[in-house]
Structure 1
Amino acid sequence: MKMLLPWELLILLSLKECLANTRHGPVFTQEPSDSIFPMSTDDKQVFINCKAKGNPPPRYWKVDGRDINTDSDLNYSLVEGNLLISNPHVINHGGVYQCIATNTFGTVVSREAKVQFALQNFSSKTRNTVSVREGQAVVLLCGPPPRYGIKYSWVFNGQRSFLRQDARRFISQKTGNLYIAKVEASDAGNYTCAVRNMMTNSTVFSSPTPVVVRRDVMGEYEPKIEVQFPDTLHVSKGSSVKLECFALGPVPSISWRRADGNPLPGKIKINHSSGVLEIPYFRPEDAGVYECVAENSRGRNVARGQLIFHAEHLQWVQTLKDAHMAIDANLQWECKAIGKPMPTYRWLKNGQERIHLEAGRLTIPKISLSDSGMYQCVAENEHGSVYASAELKVVG
């Protein structure tokens, strides 16, 4: 192996230093993602990741479209470009965050990230007494605080165990409300909604709701479906979907079926009260119209909704590459993404909307020095968005 002469070594070191100090626009190496933070007395800080490289170094952040001033707002500070929120408040600091990286060569924006907080305490306000006739149906409202990633239960008369669900009683995991199809005299008492944070395993309790059962008896009537799933629901590949259905009235039976007459998937799970149908590992063959049938001695009712298979999250099949071009040259950039529904496209120059585009194609005829900067192609549909970025350098 040939030994380098001293002057050759100096040239090599100079080249390496030159390459290391090449001036370029900002490029993200880490972007923020949707986050749910548990809120407890010990939670004093929230950390949102975002990193970018560039020469000169870039600077950052926005929330709900507004610039964050880390000098004037003491709750916010930067730690190597990452955002630190001190003493976060569930209302003031929840929102959509976006990392902004900018230097003398241009600006790029990160994907948007939703920041939510898992749980607060209930209001301590006393709840009104609910008066109901024997044989009548009743819905008790949970009225939970802002919540994400939680499970609902109810406590009856302060008992240690949670209220059991059956054909007559149902707890929605969408709203937290307790539904009793047909009230009996033994249902009189105090009901407390319990909300458990699945991240921290902590539980908060509502004020009790007193229920008084009157002696006059309610007549029988056909089932009324009070809890039902959406008319249309997009389900992504491999995810688990839960459909809720519960009816009020003289205790109805709940059954499930597919509208096209095909059998239900063999992998489905139906809970003990039949009020929840779960389809794990969703696949294209699971898509279709599902029906919930509620039936009692007085009649029947049907609720239905369509499950639509959502094949993939948005993915790039063609992105952008940096371009170094001479004045008066013609620039044409194109980006392509796949996903269902088909994505729409928009272009940004230095973080701002750029017009003069056609679908995923950006054309700039006879470029000038003012066209230099950072460009981004954004592909988006109702399920999300993806960003691709590149730098345009125009040389005289």
Structure 2
Amino acid sequence: MKKEEAKNPQRVGPNQELSGSVLRIQPTQAFGIQTSNSPKPLKVINKSVGQKYEVKSEGMTENNMWRIMNASYYLLNQTNPNVPRSCWLCLDIRPPYYDAIGDLGEATHSSNPNPPQCNWGRDVGITLTEVTGNGRCVGTVPSEKLHLCSITEKVTPGGKEKWLIPTNNARWVCSSTGVTPCLSLKLFNVSQDFCIQVIIVPRILYHSEEYVYTRHTVAEYDLTKREPITAVTLATLIILGGTGVGTERVASLVRQSQEFTSLRVAVDEDLTRVEQSITALEKSLKSLSEVVLQNRRGLDLRFLQQGGLCATLKEECCVYADHTGVVRDTMMKLREGLEKRKRENEARQNWYESWFNYSPWLTTLLSTFCRTFVVISVRANLWTMYF
């Protein structure tokens, strides 16, 4: 057994403002991880994904977040079947929202001007702040990120090949362009830029079944000393589940599974929504920076004889272009979802439960009436028994 110091996750991408330092607490719970020396394929345990333990989605709208959670559950069962079946999978409300694991799969060179593997249509490159493991790298990798690379592939710009396509279900994350489906060898600067081949998984926290019960049943004023919070991510469990076959091969084993393909599709859709929101926000900020802070209509009337405000100030007139329709549409969909869920909850309630939704005084009146009725009934029964 070889003991090595664990490397901290690194930030890779064009956004220099994002920090990769995340407060982490070492897990205190022991997992039954397979650590056999002989390489064995990871298999799905049928009893864990059978009808009895299948993740249910009755009463929930089929959204992308639920698809990500469902696909993560099946992927976790495949890569780490010894993890308990009953658990809590939680989405972290604090960024980063994605983790990346280095992948050593063979990259493909292509001379096709528009390879079908490259799903373009994205303008903004996402920066990943949590890149771990060992992957295939290209370009000039800085010294502080060399531990992320097990293989550094040499590329020759200006040759016949135009694209470097990552392996199946993987992506390139580059220092200048962020997450990209394909690497353009024509535009790639070998001396200044670098890229790492990774598989992207959502940042989902794993908790045992007892954790949530203990966390939410202990009173706030209870001063009992408790264990620190266990923060184990999906990416950590995937890597731990592959220790028996070597951490260098776990990404390849995960990449070939159907469960990860479903998760990758859901993550791609979610990343597309994030990129669209960033693009809309960028347009709004550009429009806002061009706005002259003025009461246009009133000041134009005030300086009408001089030809208007812009002519008086001898400055160009700017018009604010509103691109916040995305936000309004999102809030509208949120309100529609809340109203739909409210109607579904009311439909599932019994006739007597729905009474308490009309008015607060009705709750007090019914409670008082029921208490009085019970007291009178008990006294009448006692009177009949003794007299």
Query: TM-score, normalization: structure 1?
Result: 0.24
Which structure shows the bigger proportion of residues in helix conformation?
2
Q: RCO higher in 1 or 2 (8 Å CA, sep ≥ 6)? A: 2
